[in-house]
Structure 1
């Protein structure tokens, strides 16, 4: 009975917080239901149809999709490599001091959103896919490094310890005793982040990082809704294909 009262109190607090948020932000949901608002939304959405399917534009879409795919793949690969290296420090394999410092670095990398990293990289490396690749690599390194480190911490140490007692070195004990236990998890995490980075690579184009996102930004800025619709459909198709491929690979690994 006491627990039920506590849960009811927490629920009331959440409802009060939601109501206070609406009041503080002055959200007027009735504006969506006005005749003028519905008409403007309908007119804008109708301008996206039919999508532009001209051969010249489809060829540009194909090149943009490949560029987006390359940005996400290379960014994820770099993040997996650096994340694996940093995870050794973050898991405490090199001492408590290195662990604390490395975890601070990983927290800093992933706390900065990809769009912010992309804006910084565009200033440093210029417009184009290189900036998007660096932005994804930096943020994803923070994410994968932390996940890899947690996987290492949760892996049984008995196989590696047995190899050390048998005379193996630290590197050999890790490669043959620890790595086989964490590698499936590491690959699964990497594939999942690749799925996310496909979507994010499409968004990074809004700050000039190349790919389909940059094409979408340009077409929307020029009010070319039919071309923008085809870009959106290309994004959707690419995400669905990569999601299916990644899910199939993870199922095989499991």
Structure 2
């Protein structure tokens, strides 16, 4: 085992070193005085942030839009993930398990930005494309996590109900699902955190929310307004992370 671990670490080290060698990184230019002066000048352009009433109202509307995109996208993904997790956990036979897992792999292997770019062509600009992009990617992630949860549950309670005459659906609802529900809710909250960040970024390609507002002001070089939007993003992500952490701890207890 130690030899195997050493070989893996050696291979990783070779890959990292080869990556540095293959890339033409100009470290001297990056840490030069001229680069530092340009960065300082660029950052000072964001000060002071625009906190006018009109700007704050626009930020509030965009924040609600971002929250709505992430919440609705996560909800759709939860429903789709549960439906796909049942066959993916092996409850409908081996063929259904492998084909469903292949579908889940495809859904989650395509990033949200790619989904949004494709859906924008079909649905046009706006939060609908962003919401569906989040739902498609998150369905693949949650479906796989839910399937693993269901597959690793102790089967005793479900088997007992089946032996006493319960149907497969009743045994799942009253035995398997209550056991796996806390873990599944924890996964859902964690993915909602990620979708808040993703929803903010998806707006950059025209999918609405704070990201679209940020792109608009940056493209017009309105740096103080862009700074206000970025601050709103940071506050939103911090609040959601804190709330999700508290809820997850309560569930695990």
TM-score by length of structure 1 reads: 0.95
| Partner residue in 2 for 1:158 | 156
Unaligned runs of 5+ in 1: none
Deviation at 1:31, TM superposition (A): 1.0
- Alignment-derived partner of residue 216 in structure 2: 218
In 1, the alpha carbon distance for the partners of 2:221 and 2:86 equals 50
Q: In structure 1, which of residues 100, 103, 106 is the aligned counterpart of residue 101 of structure 2?
A: 103
Greater displacement, 53-62 / 32-41? 32-41
Deviations 1:185-230 (CA, angstroms, capped at 9, x unpaired): 1100000000000000000001100000001111111111111111
Q: For 2:68 and 2:25, locate their aligned partners in 1 and report how far apart those are by CA, in whole Å.
A: 40
Deviation at 1:19, TM superposition (A): 2.6
Question: CA offsets per residue over residues 142-181 of structure 1, 9 Å max, x none?
Answer: 0000000000000011111111111111111110011100
* Mapping of residues 8-19 of structure 1, within 5 Å: 11-19=9-17
Shift of 1:15: 3.5
Distance of 1:17 and 1:5 partners within structure 2:
17
After TM superposition, give the deviation of residue 4 of structure 1 in Å.
7.1
1:76 matched to which residue of 2? 74
Offset from partner CA, 1:75-132 (integer Å, 9 cap, x none) = 0000001000100010010111110110000000000000000001111100000000
Relative to the length of structure 2, the TM-score reads 0.96
Change (3 A) 1:96 1:14: closer
Query: Matches of 1:138 and 1:154 in 2, distance apart?
Result: 25
Quick one: distance in 1 between partners of 2:251 and 2:57? 35
| Cα distance change, pair 11–211 in 1 and its aligned pair in 2 (3 A) | same
In 2: Cα distance, 1:4 partner to 1:167 partner: 53
Q: 1:199 to 1:6 in 2, by over 3 A?
A: closer
Q: Which runs of 5+ in 2 are unaligned?
A: none
2:170 to 169, 172, 175: 172
Once the two structures are superposed, the pairs formed by residues 1-254 of structure 1 within 5 Å of their partners are: 3=2, 7=6, 11-254=9-252
Q: How many residues in Structure 1 have an aligned counterpart in Structure 2?
A: 252
SS in 2 for 1:116: helix
Secondary structure of 2:83's partner? helix
Matches of 1:173 and 1:10, distance apart in 2: 44
